[in-house]
Amino acid sequence: MNTLEGTSYFQGRRTVDDYLNDFRDLISDSGYSDPKTIVVKFRQGLNPSIADTVATMASGRPDDLDPEAWYEAAIRFDQNQAANAAHFAAPQTKTAAAAAPPPAIRNFPPTNRIPTCFAHTTPTPGNPLPMDVDAVMRTLRP
């Protein structure tokens, strides 16, 4: 019982499975039977990142009166963290597309060049500007 009053039973670097085995033995030896007290003690000793993840689950959060549900959730999240760490620790293999060098950049001349001078700057009767055409068309309409 004194062990559960201190911090010596905390998970530390142990896996959740090892922590849980020792914790269950301590609960059995201590005589605690109140489920809420057991959950509180378990959460206190659990790795804070796992305890926080279980406590803030959006759905399916274990009840504070259900130690077994807390144990299962903690094991599941510990396994998920281990799988995630193994995934990112594995060497990344290059695919054929990733290993190929990037295509060379080719500079093509621009196709939409603005002329350096306008085709005609002074309108003539045979070569009117667009606004002149609009003005003539307005006068011809009824």
29-80 pLDDT, tens per residue?
888 899 999 999 999 999 998 999 999 988 899 999 999 999 999 999 988 8
Q: Is 127 helix (H, G, I), strand (E, B) or coil?
A: strand
Q: Is 124 helix (H, G, I), strand (E, B) or coil?
A: strand
pLDDT the model gives residue 70: 94
**Stated pTM of the model:** 0.59
Tens of pLDDT, residues 18-41: 989 999 998 988 888 999 999 999
User: Is a pLDDT exceeding 70 seen at residue 98?
Assistant: no
- Ranked by mean pLDDT, the top range of 2-6, 62-66, 112-116 is 62-66
Mean pLDDT rounded to a whole number for the chain: 79
Please tell me the distance from the alpha carbon of residue 142 to that of residue 132, in angstroms, as a whole number: 18
Say how far residue 110 (Cα) sits from the centre of its chain. 41
102: confidence class by pLDDT, cuts 50, 70, 90: low
